[in-house]
Amino acid sequence: MQIKNYVRLGFVILFGAGSSACGSIDIPLDLALVGDNSITITAPDTPPLGTTLVGGVETTISVDIGLFSLLNPNGIVAGIAVDDLLIAGENIPILGGIVNTGTLCIEQNLENPGGGFALLKIFQSEADFSLALNTTIRGTDPGFIALLELSGIDSLPFDTAVETTVPLTLVDLLGLVLGGGGGGGLELSQDISTTLPADIPFFGGAMVDASLTLATVDSIPADPLLADCVLP
């Protein structure tokens, strides 16, 4: 299988030299949360409440690796599509435990799934990532679900973005191509802070802060919290 990948890469580079379209390749890229990841929700006049997070993001990177593109001193622009996203956290007690979120589920907003681009600067041995993760937050506890329904919503909007620069060599890029994404060794870290819309009852104006580190993996590890978030 690895030999086939090398042959494929050789054909892409050779025959993509005269045309960017011929050198285009789609790379599935799974990014899993690694290390310490957390989210904190601070509603007006209440102490911050938070939990740790697990899960990840499934993306596809579309990149032209034709010879002319690889030799471009300004770098290669790659499009990033967000295919799926599921992040989960443990229960957060609200109002002193009167209401509990149950498993906290952060999911892709299907109406606005997000995406972005990466500028792969091989000659500078780095890459700039700009990735919008448009998500929603919901809980699995019936009391929390009812509270959101009283507010006229079924989830809280949570639009985030990852804007970071990471090391990337030509060897790393080839690792992404030949390893199907998992071999690239990329790690993206981002601190996120956003404010929920003021017109949401109970949660209007709440601050949502998160600290995320996403790393390339062969597949996102399973976790009971993620299983809790999968709707029947």
Higher-confidence position of 231 and 186: 186
Model pTM score: 0.82
Give the pLDDT confidence of 107-116 residue by residue, as tens digits. 999 888 889 9
Q: Which two tokens stand for residue 42?
A: 């601070």
Q: Determine the Cα–Cα distance for residues 121 and 184; give it in Å rounded to an integer.
A: 15
Domain of 61?
2-229
List, in sequence order, the alpha helices (H) in 30-185: 67-70, 142-150, 170-178
Give the pLDDT confidence of 185-221 residue by residue, as tens digits. 789 999 999 898 888 877 888 899 999 999 999 889 9
Residue among 76, 20, 27, 87 at smallest CA distance from 52: 87
What's the total number of domains in the chain? 1
- Please give the average per-residue pLDDT across 119-134, as a whole number: 92
Categorize the per-residue pLDDT at 137 as very low, low, confident or very high, splitting at 50, 70 and 90.
Answer: very high
User: Residue 67: CB partners within 8 Å, gap ≥ 6?
Assistant: 13, 14, 16, 17, 23
Q: Of 18-22, 64-68, 170-174, which has the strongest mean pLDDT?
A: 170-174
Q: Of 9-13, 27-31, 83-87, which has the strongest mean pLDDT?
A: 83-87
Place of tokens 């509270």: 147
Cβ(200)–Cβ(155) below 8 Å: no
Categorize the per-residue pLDDT at 53 as very low, low, confident or very high, splitting at 50, 70 and 90.
Answer: very high
